[in-house]
Amino acid sequence: MYPSLDVQSMWPTHLACAQGQIGGHCIWRSGTTLVIRHEGQWKLLGIGVYGPGCESPSRFLDYGMYHLWVKRIVSKIGQPTISRIANNYVVLRRSTSNIQRFGLCDAEETTKEIFTDSATMLAPHDEYDDIDPVITAYYNVTLLENVDYHCIIFQAKKELNIPGTPLIKLRRTCPNGDNSCTSTRQRTLFYYVVIKFKHICTFTVNAYGVYIVTNGTDVDELGRLVRVS
C-alpha cells in the first residue's frame, strides 16, 4: 500500500478513450497502439496505458497532443550534445540511432570503451624558475562517421594541493574554414578542448560506443594533444 501516492498528479493530461467490438475483456500492458485506417493509410491515434482493454473501455495517451514534440525529438537524432558536469568535467555524445541524452554517463552507455587517452602536463619554467600562473593546452577531437559515440568523458585534474581547479571547454571547429561548420549532420565532426591549469594537470579522455560500419578506420584517431602554451 502507498497511502501518500498522488494518483491525480500522475494521471496523463491528454487521453483518448476507445472500446473494442470483439475480443472479450482483457488486461494489457502499456504500449498497445490505437490506430485507424484513413484514405488508405494507417494513422496512430494513441498509445495504450496499462489496464483494461479489448471490449472493456480502454484509455490511451492522445498521440495528437504529443506529435510535434515527438517529431522534434526524432529530428535531433544524430546531433551531438555537450553536458558540463563541472568546470573540469565535460561529456560529449553523438549517436545516430538514439535520441539525445544529457548529463552524466550511465552504466548502459559505458559498457564498451573504444578509446582512452591521458596526458600529464607541467607548466614550463623560465630562467628565474618562475611558473606561468595559468597554462593553456589544446586537444583535438574527431568524431568519425562510422562510430556511435554513446559517451565521451573529458576530465582535467590537478596534481598538487594548490588553490584552483583546472578549467576545460569544448569547442567546435571547421577544417579549412569550411562554412558547413554550422551543420551538425556532417558525417565527421571536429572539436578541440581548451584546458587551463596551474603548475601541473592530468587530462584524460574516455570514449564509449559502438562501431556502425567497419571500414578500416581506427577509433584511436579520436583525439590528440596538439599544443601547450
Nearest to 147 by CA among 96, 199, 206, 76: 96
Q: What is the model's pLDDT at position 58?
A: 80
**What does the pLDDT look like over 21-52, one tens digit per residue?**
777 777 766 778 888 898 999 999 988 876 77
Separation CA 9–CA 6 (nearest Å) = 6
- Its pTM surpasses 0.75: no
Residue 119: C-alpha distances to residues 105, 148, 205 (Å): 22, 25, 9
| Domain map (residue ranges) of the chain | 7-71, 78-228
Output the DSSP codes for 24-86: -EEEE-TT-EEEEEETTEEEEEEEE-SEEEETS-EEEEEGGGTHHHHHHHHHTTT--EEEEEE
Rounded CA separation 229/227 (Å): 6
Give the residues of the chain that fall short of pLDDT 70. 1-12, 28-29, 50, 125-132, 176-186, 213-229
Contact 131, 125 (CB under 8 A): yes
Torsion angle, CA of 169/174/176/178, rounded to 10 degrees? -150
Contact 199, 129 (CB under 8 A): no
pLDDT at 12: 65
